[in-house]
């Protein structure tokens, strides 16, 4: 059985049976309407309109960067673009171990009071206490720093078990219970380079040409890039591109930028990040919203 991506790649490289040309700068691509129009609605609309493009069989993209158009064509034919995701890692979904842990959590203690499982947890209260003290079966917040024996339901209908719960004296700061919320595996980078600006430009062209599935792939790659390369000069350049080329309601890459800064607040000391915060109100709001989620405010 043939591999569709390999077959498409052959037709792109050979130009065999091409019925359309896409031009950008000095680059030209002999492409196929059945592939291009099926995966990017812009081209279907352009050719159906009956203008010069449909008559000449040439679609010129003079306003776009040739490098980005080349990657766009690659995606249209192969469903991927350089740098490629590692094999078998096309998703950042939680690991099966973490998923199993979360589904087996007891919801209440023996008194019927719920655990909130909000991680990371920081104590907040009007009187120096904690608004949500029952974090999980392994940790509760109260005014002493000792260990207290407690009982909790291991599962619905279970008689419960003796555990020891750590108390914090209302001093939790970003507490995480690794038994209830095991850490995710680190996200591997794609090729050792930041490439954040490249991904931001791919997101922009995906929106411009209404490309099926490309935005989701870019989000995956941009998240990995920001996870590994948040402390590089390119991060702020890419962040500026994200916020200047996407509308406020398009949160795909914006939320990743906000989350990266929220997780590494030292970035706010950088002059270039201060400029971003002053220029884009949505960025400051996004960081605040991330902190609200993190601290359970």
Q: From residue 231, how far is each of 82, 167, 236, 260 by CA, in Å?
A: 22, 35, 9, 10
Strands 139-140 and 134-136 come out as antiparallel
| Within-domain flag for 187 | yes
| Within-domain flag for 90 | no
Q: What is the sign, positive or negative, of the torsion defined by CA atoms of 113, 107, 294, 177? A: positive
* Together in a domain, 187 and 155: no
| Within-domain flag for 175 | no
Pair 117, 180: CB distance under 8 Å: yes
| Within-domain flag for 88 | no
The pLDDT-based confidence of 101 (bands split at 50, 70, 90) is very low
- φ, ψ of residue 290 to 5 degrees: the values are -65, -40
* Whole-number Å distance between alpha carbons of 234 and 232: 5
Tell whether pTM > 0.75.
no
| Within-domain flag for 97 | no
- Residue 269 lies in domain: 183-297
Q: Given 166, 192, 215, which residue is the final one in a domain?
A: 166
| Within-domain flag for 173 | no
* Together in a domain, 194 and 288: yes
* Together in a domain, 189 and 162: no
Q: Which of 38, 18, 27 is nearest to 62 (CA)?
A: 27
Give the angle subtended at the CA of 246 by the CAs of 249 and 297, to the nearest 5°.
Answer: 45
* Whole-number Å distance between alpha carbons of 136 and 176: 10
* Together in a domain, 73 and 109: no
Q: Which of 90, 72, 89, 69 is nearest to 81 (CA)?
A: 72
Helices 214-229 + 196-208 axis angle, to 10: 160
Pair 116, 135: CB distance under 8 Å: yes
* Together in a domain, 129 and 194: no
Is the pLDDT assigned to residue 157 strictly greater than 60? Answer: no
Average model confidence (pLDDT) across the chain: 80
Residue 13, pLDDT score = 65
The CATH number linked to 63 is: 3.30.710.10
* Whole-number Å distance between alpha carbons of 72 and 141: 52
pLDDT digits (tens, 9 = 90+) for 57-90: 899 999 999 999 999 999 999 999 999 887 655 4
pLDDT digits (tens, 9 = 90+) for 37-54: 999 999 999 998 878 887
* Whole-number Å distance between alpha carbons of 150 and 133: 14
pLDDT > 90 fraction of the chain, expressed in percent and rounded:
46
For the segment 150-157, the average pLDDT, to the nearest whole number, is 40
* Whole-number Å distance between alpha carbons of 171 and 292: 18
* Whole-number Å distance between alpha carbons of 181 and 224: 21
Helices 281-295 + 271-279 axis angle, to 10: 100
Looking at the 3D structure of the chain, how many domains does it have? 3
| Within-domain flag for 77 | yes
* Whole-number Å distance between alpha carbons of 297 and 295: 6
């Amino acid at each position: 059985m043939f591999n569709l991506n390999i077959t498409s790649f052959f037709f792109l490289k050979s130009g065999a049976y091409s019925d359309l040309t896409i031009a950008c700068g000095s680059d030209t691509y002999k492409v196929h309407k059945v592939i291009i129009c099926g995966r990017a609605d812009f081209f279907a609309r352009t050719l159906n309109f009956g203008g010069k493009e449909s008559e000449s069989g040439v679609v010129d993209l003079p306003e776009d960067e040739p490098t980005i158009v080349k990657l766009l064509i690659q995606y249209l034919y192969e469903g991927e673009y350089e740098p490629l995701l590692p094999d078998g890692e096309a998703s950042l979904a939680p690991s099966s171990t973490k998923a199993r842990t979360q589904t087996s959590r007891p919801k209440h203690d023996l008194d019927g009071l719920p655990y909130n499982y909000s991680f990371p947890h920081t104590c907040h209260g009007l009187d120096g206490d904690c608004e949500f003290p029952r974090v999980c079966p392994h940790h509760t917040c109260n005014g002493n720093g000792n260990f207290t024996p407690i009982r909790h339901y291991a599962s619905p209908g279970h008689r419960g078990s003796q555990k020891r719960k750590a108390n914090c004296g209302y001093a939790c700061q970003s507490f995480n219970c690794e038994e209830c919320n095991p850490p995710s595996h680190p996200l591997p980078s794609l090729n050792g380079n930041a490439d954040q600006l490249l991904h931001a430009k791919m997101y922009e062209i995906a929106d411009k040409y209404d490309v099926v599935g490309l935005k989701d792939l870019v989000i995956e790659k941009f998240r990995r890039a920001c996870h590994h390369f948040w402390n590089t000069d390119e991060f702020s350049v890419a962040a500026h591109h994200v916020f200047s080329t996407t509308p406020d309601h398009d949160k795909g890459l914006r939320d990743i930028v906000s989350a990266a800064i929220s997780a590494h607040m030292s970035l706010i000391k950088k002059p270039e990040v201060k400029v971003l915060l002053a220029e884009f109100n949505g960025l400051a709001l996004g960081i605040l919203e991330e902190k609200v989620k993190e601290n359970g405010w």
